[in-house]
Amino acid sequence: MFQTLPLRSRWPLAPCGAQQLSLQGRSWAFRERAQRRPPAGCARWLVSTASKTVWPSPCLKAWEVGSSGYPKPARWFPGAAAQTLSWNRVTRRQFSQGPPSTGGSATRLQLRTRLLITCLFGGAALGTWLYLRSEKERQQKLQRIQELKKVAIGQGDFHLVDHTGQPRSKADFLGQWVLLYFGFTHCPDICPEELEKMSQVVQLLDQEPQLPRVQPVFITVDPERDDVAAVAKYVREFHPRLLGLTGSPEQVREAGRAYRVYYSTGPRDEDDDYIVDHTVIVYLLNPDGLFLDYYNRSKSEAQIVQSVRGHMETYKTLFS
């Protein structure tokens, strides 16, 4: 006894394809092309006999199962009559016909659509995040500028006298780049070395005409011995533009406190001589009067020049 099960072929067949037959517990999928197109109204009915299963002309060849249990091609019946078994009837158009399936193309289209939607949403989210971050940075910068403006008005203010006897304050240096050093004229080695290094830095910067000029300033931390005359004699040993400042002990103390400079007078010897211990730092002030950077003894002339040049190139005034 034969039994047929309907199965649509996954291959495009013309004009029709085969079914899968379950024969004696084994399954085979067969596909044979008809040699000519079936006539109009061809009813595809399965014709079954005791030894063979055939398709009426002009449909597919049928297969039969021999005594060995293996299928073999049955004869071709070009004009066989349509005889069917009631329990083994096959419905019309059981076989794959028409154009190839477009399921793969539809799947690719859906994937592309999903990717496009994902990219659109991702781009919108990224753009929103970048905008919010830039806006936050802009607000922080404006707030920082306002704070620096308030600090710039009073930071490091001083009222001293220069080595020519003229009163000086911080306002006199606004609009200039300033290298500032605190020391004293009786310093045996450190102060001369640092002032010489600062003078070399100023000379190197003067060799670059595109850069603004730097004003070197020396403020004494020993007002008891460093009067106007002593400071004038001392600064002449260094850069010609070096400006020396002095004043009363209280004025010098206020200037040091404004820049957080530490200094302390040591014990006196039998000659009434003493050493002043103090902070060894060169300060950089921008034209707004703000402290920008500092350079200790480990910094070389070339390093200081590079740093000052960088600050000059990136400088933006706060009072424009």
**What pLDDT, on the 0 to 100 scale, is given for residue 305?**
97
Residue 286 has pLDDT above 60, yes or no: yes
Please give the residue range of the domain that contains residue 141.
Answer: 112-150
Residue 311 assigned as binding residue: no
Interval 47-76 mean pLDDT = 44
The answer to the question of residue 117 being in a domain is: yes
Residue that is written with structure tokens 């203010």 in the block: 157
Share of the chain above pLDDT 90, in %: 43
Q: Based on the domain organization, do 167 and 227 belong to the same domain?
A: yes
239 marked among binding-site residues: no
Please say which residue of 102, 125, 150 terminates a domain: 150
pLDDT on residue 118 = 87
174 and 306 housed in the same domain? yes
Q: What was the pLDDT predicted at 88?
A: 41
Task: Out of 120, 150, 180, pick the residue that ends a domain.
Answer: 150
> Is the domain of 259 the same as that of 296?
yes
The average pLDDT across 177-204 equals 96
Segment 199-253, tens digit of pLDDT: 999 999 999 999 999 999 999 999 999 999 999 999 999 999 999 999 999 999 9
Q: Is residue 174 part of a domain?
A: yes
Same domain flag for 129 and 192: no
Backbone angles phi, psi at 209, to 5 degrees: -65, -20
One domain for residues 175 and 313: yes
pTM of the model: 0.55
Domain harbouring 232, CATH code: 3.40.30.10
Q: What is the pLDDT of residues 77-101, one digit of tens each?
A: 444 443 333 334 444 444 445 555 5
Residues 266 and 139 placed together within one structural domain of the fold:
no
Q: Name which residue leads in pLDDT, 214 or 117.
A: 214
| Residue 207 is assigned to a structural domain of this protein | yes
Q: Are residues 122 and 228 in the same domain?
A: no
Which carries the bigger pLDDT value, residue 256 or residue 10? 256
**Predicted local distance difference test score (pLDDT) of residue 18:** 39
Q: Are residues 172 and 311 in the same domain?
A: yes
Give the pair of three-digit tokens for residue 277: 């211990």
Residue 151: band (very low, low, confident or very high) from pLDDT cuts 50, 70, 90: low
pLDDT of residue 277: 92
Residue % of the chain over a pLDDT of 70: 62
CA 285 to chain centre: 33
Question: Is pLDDT of 272 > 70?
Answer: yes
Alpha carbon of 111 to those of 86, 100, 108, 175, 309: distances in Å? 47, 21, 5, 63, 56
Domains of the chain: total: 2
Asked if residue 272 and residue 187 are part of one domain, the reply reads: yes
pLDDT value of residue 179:
97
In a domain, 209, yes or no: yes
Is 191 labeled as ligand-binding? yes
Q: Are residues 197 and 133 in the same domain?
A: no
Looking at the domain assignment, is residue 16 inside a domain? Answer: no
For residue 308, tell me if it sits in a domain.
Answer: yes
**Which pLDDT value is given to residue 101?**
54
The answer to whether 228 and 275 have CB atoms below 8 angstroms apart is no
Domain-ending residue, one of 103, 126, 150: 150
Average pLDDT over residues 52-71: 44
Among 305, 320, 319, 298, CA closest to 179:
305
Q: Confidence class of residue 63 from pLDDT cuts 50, 70 and 90? A: very low
Residue 18 inside a domain? The answer is no
Average pLDDT over residues 27-39: 41
pLDDT for the residue 100: 55
Whether 249 and 281 map to the same domain: the answer is: yes
pLDDT on residue 78 = 45
Q: What is the mean pLDDT of the chain?
A: 75
Residue 194 sits in the same domain as residue 247: yes
**Pairwise CA distance, residues 15 & 98, whole Å:** 8
pLDDT tens, residue by residue, 126-150: 989 999 988 888 888 777 667 666 6
Instruction: Give the pLDDT mean for 153-160.
Output: 74
Alpha-helical (H) ranges within the chain are 103-154, 190-206, 228-235, 249-258, 301-313
Assigned domain for 193 exists = yes
